[in-house]
Copies of this chain bind each other. A is one copy, B any other.
Amino acid sequence: MATARPSTTNSRGRLTRDRVLHAAIAHADAAGLEFLTMRTLAETLEVAPMALYRHVSSKDDLIDAMVDVVFTEIGVPGGGGDWKTSMRRRAVAVRQALTRHPWAVGLLEARRRPGPANLRHHDAVIGRLRAAGFDVIETAHAYSLLDSYIYGFALTKADLPFDGSEQAGAMAGAMLSPFPANEYPNLVEFLSEHVMTPGYDYEAEFEFGLDVLLDALEQGLRPPDRIVSLR
């Protein structure tokens, strides 16, 4: 009682930028970005829509800020270990953040005005590769390859219309039902013999592909890891 704000219109005290941001992220996580409107957001915060504009200058600004919160969650790759384990950890961290926040796929790299956490992240990844002996061009190769894979996997995963293999079957059936049977024999075989299999776990594909990439980078680019002392 002593610490609670005396009496404001909305239930949880004064509106702050942080409350707006985290309510927006929670809403996008739960309902998807297309259902995040300034009006519904205001409703969940129990304020008038226009109250939000004291803390964000526009919906676009809001989304910019949401994206930077995601980059804050991702953090920067730790300095310990060789570049490969460092890049692997970083890739998994991005993947996990995108699993928590599927709406952020396609937005992390899209914003015209990247926030500080975004820039800090990219700066750290580039720095880590350079410190391991990658020259500028090799860094570009490695970064492009890894990020394309990570974002692309998240994209196809986010778009994948099913979660588990039970739903996969129904979904695949619904997808194919408007078409003549045996029109797409290879697709049907693939879905029935793999995707609809009980043990199927698309998420496991991510780390498989990631290791293929890291191994390929190790072989094709500069082989030896130089000094590893990023403190």
Contact = CB atoms under 8 A, between A and B. Distances in A.
Given A126-B186, A187-B119, A148 B149 contact: yes
Given A119-B184, A186-B126, A186-B130, A220 B209 contact: no
B139 A190 contact: yes
Interface string A102-138: 0001100110111010011011101100100000110
Interface string A136-154: 1101110011011111110
> In terms of DSSP, what is the predominant structure of the interface of chain A?
helix
A212 interface: yes
A20 B109 CA distance: 32
A181 to B, nearest CB: 13
A145 B155 contact: no
A212 B145 contact: yes
A110 B209 CA distance: 21
A155 B151 contact: yes
A140 B185 CA distance: 16
A124 B202 CA distance: 21
A159 B216 contact: no
Contacts of A147: 152, 156
A218 to B, nearest CB: 11
Contacts of A124: 186
A215 interface: yes
B160 A149 contact: no
A18 interface: no
Given A106-B106, A136-B193, A123 B187 contact: yes
A110 B144 contact: no
B209 A148 contact: yes
B149 A112 contact: no
Given A144-B202, A144-B205, A148-B152, 9 more contacts: A106-B155, A113-B178, A124-B186, A136-B190, A147-B152, A149-B149, A151-B156, A152-B152, A212-B213
14 contacts: A119-B175, A119-B187, A126-B190, A127-B185, A136-B194, A140-B190, A141-B209, A144-B156, A144-B209, A147-B152, A148-B149, A148-B152, A148-B156, A213-B216
